[in-house]
Amino acid sequence: MFKINCMNAIANVGLDLFTDNYELVDNFNDTNAVIVRSSSVHDLELPPSLVAIARAGAGVNNIPLDKCAESGVVVFNTPGANANGVKEMVIASLIIAARNIVGGVNWVNSCGPDPEVAKLVEKKKSKFVGKEIKGRKLGVIGLGAVGVLVANAANKLDMEVYGYDPFISVDAAWNLSKYIKHSKSLDEIFRECDFITVHVPSTDETKGMFNNETFEIMKDGVVILNFSRDTLVRDEDMIEALGSGKVGSYVTDFPNPMVCGVEGVITIPHLGASTSESEDNCAVMAVRQLMDYLENGNIRNSVNYPTCDMGVCMQIGRIAINHKNIPNMLSQFTSTFARENINIPDMINKSKGQYGYTILDIEAPATPEFAQKLREIDGVLKVRIIK
């Protein structure tokens, strides 16, 4: 029986995939696997029973990836599963910002039940004249699952779209419309674009990429959309740039005490992926990946361990080992079985950065004694008997 702890509400269509061999538990300290959306795992102690964390979403900055890897805990995410939800929100936000829709709606609401409201709006609506997005330049920073969809959709709305991503994947490049201009530097995006939307992960490298120096390069009145993470923007600099008119409008999906209520900021309560479709897609993908890992030892879409797939075990026994990516690990694993004269008809060994993962199919039951011997090898982080 596997115990699963959901740290956030996870769509039933995903949870319903769990068979009778799974139990949903409330206690993080007594679980084999966790499903999480945006709750932070950073300050939690990882219990020895924990083997995997599935992030039902894309961003994993709420999870301590190295600490997990070091404890043999595989962290999964669900790439692309909520990308369409975010794309639609970004397109809506482009238009909302360009047309000052929030300003207009707030003003009408502030009029109260005025019997003359219809006349009043016709008289005063010129305060809310906007601009059309057709023909205007949009810079898309980060051309992954979300960025590619946003770039292609904006192009279809007749925007002139510039894309920047020095690490673009082959798949993303195939999916990107040929009409997207390839920017080779961030400065080009900053210099040329009327609207800039950012779709990169929150990392040390991307932290504070919107700051006084980069605002300096941008056009006056530029509109910035942030559906990635608030860490990408230096808030004090943003507030100054909004005050001076350098930034015309800042749309953010990440309200924080510094930007909430500031003139020119449109704060959205982290709704980018909050559609039933995205929530369902993420839950199904997260649960399927977890089940394949727990039942077969296979890893798909992990952010801290390598992809590793041996299918379903057809042998008598299977053991999965999370370990450091250092010399001599494999020979120590195989000699553990050789000493007992046990054949290994199939195996796989992969690495990602400092960490490695090995699945061994053996012609004998995988016993707790074998597992213990493997655990005693220097550099082994976790050993699981799969079968």
Ligand X SMILES: O=C(O)CC[C@@H](O)C(=O)O
Ligand Y SMILES: NC(=O)c1ccc[n+]([C@@H]2O[C@H](COP(=O)([O-])OP(=O)(O)OC[C@H]3O[C@@H](n4cnc5c(N)ncnc54)[C@H](O)[C@@H]3O)[C@@H](O)[C@H]2O)c1
Please report how the helices 276-296 and 83-98 are oriented relative to each other, as an axis angle in degrees rounded to 10: 150
Structure tokens at 3: 């115990």
172 in contact with ligand Y (CB under 6 A):
yes
CA angle 268, 271, 273 (to 5 degrees): 150
Minimal distance in Å, beta carbon 60 to ligand X? Answer: 8
Minimal distance in Å, beta carbon 148 to ligand Y? Answer: 8
Among the residue ranges 25-33, 163-171, 331-339, 357-365, the one whose residues contact ligand Y (CB under 6 A): 163-171
Please report how the helices 329-338 and 368-375 are oriented relative to each other, as an axis angle in degrees rounded to 10: 150
Choose from ligand Y, ligand X, none: what does 38 bind? Cβ within 5-8 Å by kind: ligand X
Single out the residue of 37, 136, 137, 382 in contact with ligand X (rule: CB under 6 A): 37
Minimal distance in Å, beta carbon 10 to ligand X? Answer: 10
286 in contact with ligand X (CB under 6 A):
no
Query: Toward ligand Y, which CB reaches closer, 55 or 382?
Result: 55
83 in contact with ligand Y (CB under 6 A):
yes
Q: How far apart are CA 144 and CA 45, in angstroms?
A: 32
Among the residue ranges 197-205, 244-252, 259-267, 284-292, the one whose residues contact ligand Y (CB under 6 A): 197-205
Helix, strand or coil, per DSSP, at residue 20 = coil
**Of residues 253-282, which lie at the interface with ligand X (CB under 6 A)?**
270, 273-274
Q: How far apart are CA 56 and CA 283, in angstroms?
A: 6
Q: How far apart are CA 16 and CA 31, in angstroms?
A: 18
Q: How far apart are CA 364 and CA 387, in angstroms?
A: 10
- The helix (H) or strand (E) run that includes residue 53 is strand 52-55
User: Are the CB atoms for 159 and 132 separated by under 8 Å?
Assistant: no
# of chain residues touching ligand Y (CB under 6 A): 34
272 in contact with ligand Y (CB under 6 A):
yes
Query: Toward ligand X, which CB reaches closer, 86 or 329?
Result: 86
Single out the residue of 5, 7, 10, 57 in contact with ligand X (rule: CB under 6 A): 57
Q: How far apart are CA 285 and CA 89, in angstroms?
A: 22
Query: CA nearest 241: which of 267, 202, 213, 205?
Result: 213
227 in contact with ligand Y (CB under 6 A):
yes
Among the residue ranges 42-50, 67-75, 177-185, 202-210, the one whose residues contact ligand Y (CB under 6 A): 202-210
38 in contact with ligand X (CB under 6 A):
yes
Q: CB under 8 Å to 115, separation ≥6 — which residues?
A: none
144 in contact with ligand X (CB under 6 A):
no
Cα atoms in the 13 Å half-sphere on the side-chain side of 132 = 5
Q: Which amino acid is at 83?
A: A
Single out the residue of 5, 31, 82, 358 in contact with ligand X (rule: CB under 6 A): 82
93 in contact with ligand Y (CB under 6 A):
no
323 in contact with ligand Y (CB under 6 A):
no
Q: Contact positions toward ligand Y, by CB under 6 A?
A: 57-59, 79, 82-83, 86, 141-147, 164-169, 172, 199-202, 205-206, 227-229, 253, 270, 272-273
